Structure 1
Amino acid sequence: MHRPLLLFVLRSISQTHAAAVRPGARALAVALAVALAGCAPMGPRTGAQAPTPWLAQVQALLPADVLLIGEQHDAPEHQALEREAVQWLAARGQLAALVMEMADSGRTTDGMPRDADEAQVQQALGWNAAAWPWAQYGPVAMAAVRAGVPVRGGNLPRADLREAMRDERWDRHLDATALARQHTALREGHCGLLPESQIPGMARIQIARDARMAAVAAAARRPGQVVVLVAGGGHVLRGVGVPTHWFPGLTAKVALAQAGGAPDPQAGDTDAVQATPALPARDPCAELRRSQGARP
């Protein structure tokens, strides 16, 4: 599940590393340090909306320190589900923070007023609209801002990518089976066009990104509330992604939004799966090969 973000990563590292990325799906997982934030929990507010079937699933996963919501980036229904969850949890006083893969760590809306406009929020988050269309993700972020809940970037900044690619300690973070899953996902997500020599380095970047997202989410915890982490479906999987970076005692639940026709997750990788309609038929690998001048 690797989308144009990986092409952005490769180009950021060097022109020679610019490999193609499937436009139909994006990435695997992110996280790395732990800090506790303590604030008094807020009780449910009156007048909160009744749960829809999706929200009933969310409610069934609570209590939790972190709720990971995995998406397919080109499925608008998935961003709609994220916004719905953010609004519902915030209305009940249960949302501690929204952490988004789509903004870099260190970027935050902390301290912004609820009536901040969208341009101000984008500036605070350092939003890259070329990689992440604001029309899709803006409503998710603004739902938190309007509720007075901080939005925090979780992704590994560009300046850290080269170091992550060279850092061999990430090779030892996952066991052999899980690391092989990462490598296979990279090959398939790049339609077989990514040179084999780049696979280990790209896997290190993915693992480092998962570590950073985990650190940001862990630091945002508040007693009695839940942090929502929004990321690509591969990033949230318990066997290979963000949850592999957390310490014992942190309670995390995984909800995966799944478009019709997408492969099922492995057993134990998720706590809930929300089915959405299949996306229009297309061949992203053919599109990618055309864009790279490769043969079909």
Structure 2
Amino acid sequence: MSVRRLLAVLLLLVPPMFASACAELPSPPLPPVPALASSHPLAGRIWAPADGRFVTPAEAVALLAGAGAVGLGETHDNPDHHALQAWLVAALAAAGPAPTVAFEMIDQDRQGALDAARAGPLDQFGAAMAWEARGWPAWRLYQPIAAAALAAGGRLAGANLPAALTRPVARGTAPAELIARLGLDQPLPEAEQADLAEEIRASHCGLMPEAAIPGMVRVQQARDASMAETVAALAGTGPVVLIAGAGHVRADRGVPARLRRLAPGLVMRTVGLVEVAEGETDPAAVAARFHAATVPFDLVWFTGRPEREDPCAALRRRQGATP
């Protein structure tokens, strides 16, 4: 069943106890992005780990609407994830103040360029921001997210660590003030350091030189800290919605963990948009995929997965490595 059809059905199945809340949360039109069909029993369902039950989209919006910040964690090349992000931004806008949408895909120091690009047509925004040239999936997948925020009177913001700082952070040569500001002077717990290192090895298909791994761990920490800074700075006039990879919005060690230190009074809720896995029908089993004892999101919205080339084969080909 497509995401579009599934949402339409689920919104009709809201339990009576949520009827009054849902009356205040009008369902926005779904964005015109092709949805992925999947016969997997979890596809399209939303799991609330704290309650140990599945919830409806309307219940999910009610939970998120009470937060000062919302993290929507994606797999970057999954079109369903962007369709659902756009729907959630529109639903949050319908439920309360206009949201500010902050993107991992835009660096903090490109805010001026972002504001200038906003003066032009939104379908040209990606080209103006060199979106795809910077390695992100097609802007057309993200455009409905931006459109949903802007239609409600919201804003767009860049959230990521500026590219010019990535190399100094990786090499350990960044200024002491920046190191302290990003929390890089505070050693990670040994298990977390090892876990992040293993994730980086796996995501680079074992092709990353071992000597580069500690620097990449620092960059991951720095990006989480930069995005947390952005969220904290923007909070107050309405909800801040962070669009980022799922690993960045996990509550145990990503942006939310850093945000708890920066702005202890700011509540951030997170949604992990997670592709279903063959043979995995227990929603709580997602925790193991994130090497966590418990599911590290407030909600998990399961989706199908697109047909994609083996990323490791593609990376080996680009690097001229033997399969």
TM range (shorter): 0.7 to 0.9
Whole-angstrom CA distance in 2 between matches of 1:92 and 1:270: 21
1:235 equivalent in structure 2: 248
Could you say what secondary structure the match of 1:264 adopts? helix
Structure 1 segments of 4+ aligned residues over 6 angstroms from their partners: 44-47, 109-115
Q: Does the CA-based 8 Å contact 2:286-2:295 persist in structure 1?
A: no
Offset, 1:91: 2.5
**Residues 123-162 of structure 1: pairs in structure 2 closer than 5 A:** 126-130=129-133, 131-132=135-136, 133-162=138-167
Among 177, 191, 194, the residue aligned to 2:191: 177
Identity of aligned residues (%): 37
**Residues 72-221 of structure 1: pairs in structure 2 closer than 5 A:** 72-108=75-111, 117-118=121-122, 121-122=125-126, 126-130=129-133, 131-132=135-136, 133-167=138-172, 170=184, 172-221=186-235
Among 243, 265, 268, the residue aligned to 1:249: 265
1:228-248 superposed Cα distances (whole Å, 9 cap, x missing partner)? 101001111122211221222
Among 257, 269, 286, the residue aligned to 1:264: 286
Larger radius of gyration: 2
Could you say what secondary structure the match of 1:95 adopts? coil
The Cα RMSD (Å) is: 3.0
Whole-angstrom CA distance in 1 between matches of 2:317 and 2:127: 34
Whole-angstrom CA distance in 2 between matches of 1:123 and 1:290: 27
Q: Structure 1 residues 175 and 56 mapped into 2: Cα distance closer, same or farther (>3 Å)?
A: same
Q: Does the CA-based 8 Å contact 1:115-1:146 persist in structure 2?
A: no
2:36 equivalent in structure 1: none
Of stretches 47-56 and 60-69 in structure 1, the one that deviates more from structure 2 is 47-56
Whole-angstrom CA distance in 2 between matches of 1:244 and 1:91: 28
Residue identity opposite 1:146 in structure 2: A
* Paired residue total: 251
Structure 1: tracts of 5 or more residues without a match: 1-43
Q: Does the CA-based 8 Å contact 1:45-1:91 persist in structure 2?
A: no
Q: Structure 1 residues 111 and 201 mapped into 2: Cα distance closer, same or farther (>3 Å)?
A: closer
Q: Structure 1 residues 161 and 281 mapped into 2: Cα distance closer, same or farther (>3 Å)?
A: closer
Structure with greater helix share of residues: 2
Q: Structure 1 residues 192 and 51 mapped into 2: Cα distance closer, same or farther (>3 Å)?
A: same
Structure 2: tracts of 5 or more residues without a match: 1-21, 31-55, 174-178, 279-284
Q: Does the CA-based 8 Å contact 2:146-2:156 persist in structure 1?
A: yes
Could you say what secondary structure the match of 2:214 adopts? helix
Could you say what secondary structure the match of 1:249 adopts? coil
Offset, 1:282: 4.1
* Structure showing greater relative contact order (alpha-carbon pairs closer than 8 Å, 6 or more residues apart): 1
Could you say what secondary structure the match of 2:99 adopts? strand
2:6 equivalent in structure 1: none
